[in-house]
Amino acid sequence: MAANFWTSSHFKQLFDQEEVDVVHPLDKEKGITLEDFKLIKMHMLIPICKLAQSVKVRQRVVATAVTYMRRLYTRRSMSEYDPRLVGPTCLYLASKAEESTVQARLLVYYIKKIYSDDKHRYEIKDILEMEMKILEALNYYLVVFHPYRSLPQFLQDAGMNDIGMTQLTWGLVNDTYKMDLILIHPPHLIALACIYTASVYREKDKTAWFEELRVDMNVVKNIAMEILDFYESHRLITDERVAAAFNKLKP
């Protein structure tokens, strides 16, 4: 929403990879490894997306919610901030921050509908209480910029704004939220990395266009590599592996 990313709190709060990849001591005690940590964060997207579909909010709200969640876990432990509650609460908060308010009771209703087990018995007051804790942990910085905004402009400029390419890059951007990229890189570079990945995948040579941009192509290529690495490793993840990670969090 802010007019300028470079003066925004988002820009000032960009992290280094090393800062993001820190497992909270409390979680470490429970045997959570860095890999578990990443897995859990990635899997938190599933309930967030399911809920978002149920309550019908824009992708941008999901993206903001995930960013809040990822920012939260750079500062707080999963032991204290239960991922099962944090996910929906981040969506709740993001829906307000992105001006598409969703009622808490609606979220509670859908959580119960989607998950019937005991672990998901959350009431409205749990969400509201967690909202306060998250707000405080985020230090009330709520403005988030996303790659979605610059994506269509770049595609048009590169002459790649056909439906196929738009859908492919949009999907790639969606997938970047399964990683911590949004905490580390400026959103327009993430958008460019997605376009780069897509152009390589579709075998369209856009080198000339990229060279004309005044951006550090090394950064863009590094992000693209991370995206490819992610897809590579993503295939090897089994449900058991995820369940094992979540189980470690049990009190």
Partner 1 sequence: MDNEREGFPITAIREIKILKKLHHENVIKLKEIVTSQGNAMNTLSYLCCILYSPQTVLLICLLQISYVVRLFSGPEKDDQGKPDDNKYKGGIYMVFEYMDHDLTGLADRPGIRFTVPQIKCYMRQLLTGLHYCHINQVLHRDIKGSNLLIDNEGNLKLADFGLARSFSNEHQSNLTNRVITLWYRPPELLLGSTKYGPAVDMWSVGCIFAELLHGKPIFPGKDEPEQLNKIFELCGAPDEVNWPGVSKIPWYNNFKPTRPMKRRLREVFRHFDRHALELLEKMLALDPAQRISAKDALDAEYFWTDPPPCDPKSLPKYESSHEFQTKKKRQQQRQHEENAKRQKLQHPQPHSRLLPVQQSGARPQMRTGPNQSMHGSQPPVTGPGHYGRPRGPPVGPGRYPSGGTSGGYNHPSHGGQGGGGYGSGPYPPQGRAPPYPSTGMPGGAPRGGGGSGYGVGAPNYPQGGPYGGSGAGRGSNMMGGNRNQQYGWQQ
Name the residue among 88, 76, 7, 92 with its Cα closest to residue 37.
76
Min dist. Cβ of residue 7 to partner 1 (A):
7
Question: Using the rule CB under 8 A, which residue among 23, 65, 78, 142 binds partner 1?
Answer: 142
Spatial distance between the Cα atoms of 224 and 90, rounded to a whole number of angstroms: 27
Min dist. Cβ of residue 95 to partner 1 (A):
9
Query: CA-CA distances (angstroms) from residue 121 to 13, 49, 61, 133, 230?
Result: 34, 19, 24, 19, 32
Query: Site residues for partner 1, window 7-66 (CB under 8 A)?
Result: 7-9
* CB contact at 8 A, 80 and 22: no
Min dist. Cβ of residue 24 to partner 1 (A):
20
Q: Does 74 bind partner 1 (CB under 8 A)?
A: no
The gap between the terminal CA atoms of the chain, to the nearest Å, is 39
DSSP class of residue 15 equals P
Q: Does 136 bind partner 1 (CB under 8 A)?
A: yes
Which listed range, 66-74, 97-105, 159-167, 218-226, lies at the site for partner 1 (CB under 8 A)? 97-105
Spatial distance between the Cα atoms of 126 and 104, rounded to a whole number of angstroms: 10
* CB contact at 8 A, 88 and 111: yes
Question: Using the rule CB under 8 A, which residue among 140, 163, 235, 250 binds partner 1?
Answer: 140
Maximum separation of any 2 CA atoms in the chain, in Å: 56
Nearer to partner 1, 20 or 134 (CB): 134
Which residue reads 């969090």 in tokens? 249
Query: Site residues for partner 1, window 102-131 (CB under 8 A)?
Result: 103-105, 123-125, 127-129, 131
Nearer to partner 1, 104 or 191 (CB): 104
Min dist. Cβ of residue 135 to partner 1 (A):
6
Amino acid at 122: Y
The count of residues interacting with partner 1 (CB under 8 A) is 32
Nearer to partner 1, 34 or 128 (CB): 128
Q: Which residues bind partner 1 (CB under 8 A)?
A: 1-4, 7-9, 92-93, 96-97, 99, 101, 103-105, 123-125, 127-129, 131-133, 135-136, 139-143
